[in-house]
Amino acid sequence: MSPEPADANSQPPPETFGLTDDELAIRRTVFASDALGGMVVVVTGATGGIGRAIAWLFARLGAHVVLVGRNQTKLDALTARMTQRALKVSSYAVDIRDPDAVRALFDAIWKARGRVDSLINSAGGQFPQSAIDISVKGWNAVINTNLNGTWYMMQAAAQHWRDAGHPGSIVNIVVVTTHGLYGIAHSIAARAGVVGLSRSVAVEWAPLKIRVNCVAPGLIETEGWKVYSPEARAAYPRSNPMMRAGSAWDIAEACGYLTGPSGGFVTGETLTVDGGGQLWGETWTTGKPPYFGGETG
């Protein structure tokens, strides 16, 4: 459900954002129906917009998907909807910021399923705020979830793969960090940390047959849009030369490419899926400041 590239100001933003479970259950995919058959894939942030799309896609491609999130009620609802479609899923309510809980999570998954093949770190997020006024608490919260939590998951996954002599693949969902995106400096800092971390361990863990990659989404319409103002959303088509938002499905299919055998020779890479937004476009999460020709921010 992407906005039309026409005059966005003439169209009020929709009440809801992103793809519904019913849409994710039937949306066309480029992949063959058993492309990830036999795999066990752990997806964090599984009830969020992008994580949810990844969970649906991977399960539809034959994987057993382990849904990880903080809210058991949301996890149960998603599990029920996916099970109704005869997909293989299980779920665990875990706060990825707690390293002991993360270790226990992987112990439990390995005990229950006997293997893990892939980890998709999609948990994360931020509230837009001018960097100059970010509180210490706000800063630490964003770093803790987006960088530390991702790291705890990566390390615990890798330790189990090492101990089991089992190959693995990690895909970290980040943001485009090469662009001075206004209002989310804390998140850019955390995600740039994840990108650097991924490049480092792609080398260090290559002897363990563990591949580590990132996907950097640009403007993607998800339920996360609700934290941005209508004014900010109205200008979103100007975020990239395609003059539209992408969908969570675009990100899910990029993850499919990296996770499947198609990505077998790819590691340490960040795949940018942003409609060209890193080359042209502007995104103002907190409104466009007068300095840049705007009236707000």
Partner 1 sequence: MNASKPDQRGILPRDLFAGKTVFVTGGGSGINLGIARTFAGLGADIGICGRSQERLDAAAAGLREIGAKVSATSADSGCQINCNPR
Sites of contact with partner 1 (CB under 8 A): 30-33, 35-36, 256, 260-262, 264-265
Residue number with CB closer to partner 1 (35 or 123): 35
**Least CB distance to partner 1 at residue 261 (A):** 3
Q: Which amino acid is at 76?
A: D
Asked if 207 and 166 count as a contact pair (C-beta separation under 8 A), the reply is no
**Least CB distance to partner 1 at residue 260 (A):** 5
Pairing of the two strands 210-217 and 168-173: parallel
**Least CB distance to partner 1 at residue 39 (A):** 11
**Least CB distance to partner 1 at residue 24 (A):** 19
Residue number with CB closer to partner 1 (62 or 224): 62
Instruction: For residue 141, give every residue at least 6 positions away whose Cβ sits within 8 Å of its Cβ, in sequence order, or none.
Output: none
**Least CB distance to partner 1 at residue 245 (A):** 25
- Give, to the nearest 10 degrees, the angle between helix 99-113 and helix 150-164: 40
Residue number with CB closer to partner 1 (12 or 167): 167
Residue number with CB closer to partner 1 (69 or 263): 263
Range 86-94 contact pairs with CB under 8 angstroms and sequence separation of 24 or more = 87/56, 87/59, 87/60, 88/59, 88/63, 88/64, 89/55, 89/59, 89/64, 89/65, 90/64, 90/65, 90/66, 91/46, 91/66, 91/67, 92/66, 92/67, 92/68, 93/68, 93/69, 94/68, 94/69, 94/70
Residue number with CB closer to partner 1 (39 or 216): 39
Residue number with CB closer to partner 1 (39 or 134): 39
Measured CA angle at 255 (ends 159, 258), to 5 deg = 70
**Least CB distance to partner 1 at residue 199 (A):** 22
Instruction: For residue 180, give every residue at least 6 positions away whose Cβ sits within 8 Å of its Cβ, in sequence order, or none.
Output: none
Pairing of the two strands 168-173 and 118-121: parallel
Q: Which amino acid is at 174?
A: V
**Least CB distance to partner 1 at residue 14 (A):** 31
Give the three-state DSSP class for 232: helix
Asked if 157 and 167 count as a contact pair (C-beta separation under 8 A), the reply is no
Residue number with CB closer to partner 1 (29 or 155): 29
**Least CB distance to partner 1 at residue 149 (A):** 30
Residue number with CB closer to partner 1 (265 or 291): 265
